[in-house]
Structure 1
């Protein structure tokens, strides 16, 4: 009886560690997305018509860098979701843990959904900058 209780206690500790790891991942991605949104908000205060060609080109390049960041974050998250890491003691796969954690959320994969929304914003912004660049050539 005691050994089963100890095993269960170890399983609970491992599960708590897995949830903590997910929390840390969410914070890291959230911090990166916050930096991008903050930059977009600040940049949005200056109308594109007030920017010169070089400033537009720099903004376009910065938006491209941010899009690459979103692509990297999405690839990393997808790798985590597809991961087959299985905890031998609890028998929980990464995917099962994530499915359980986000079962009540509107999006099955809220982190990927947030990254996709930010990537769409960046794409729209970059397209607007590109239109201004082309009009000035």
Structure 2
């Protein structure tokens, strides 16, 4: 019986990293971190790549759901660390920070900024743009 694959991603462009969970993947499919790395490399060669592609040499880690190169039928958990996180710790900290962080207040044309700010009633566009960035696609590829 076929079931629908469930896919969930989490993380922000300049956060600690990106997380992904794949559910309803059948047992016995071959997958390795090296195969995923090749696909992530292909992504980085694509049209429209920016300066960020030079910073992040993407390498996803398989945390769960795969053993000896084959899926187990349980949820597959992936993590993709952001190397540039060290430069964004204060701006993107999940913990409160003592200093004032400059807010982003001007939405970018053609992006999700304005819609996201209106939907969630944020006063800082960074809360939206960090999630709706091109960086988020790295986990979709992984």
Scaled by the length of structure 1, the TM-score of the pair is: 0.25
TM-score (norm 2): 0.24
| Structure with a larger share of its residues in strand | 2
Q: Give 1 or 2: higher helix fraction.
A: 1
Who wins on radius of gyration, i.e. which is larger? Answer: 1
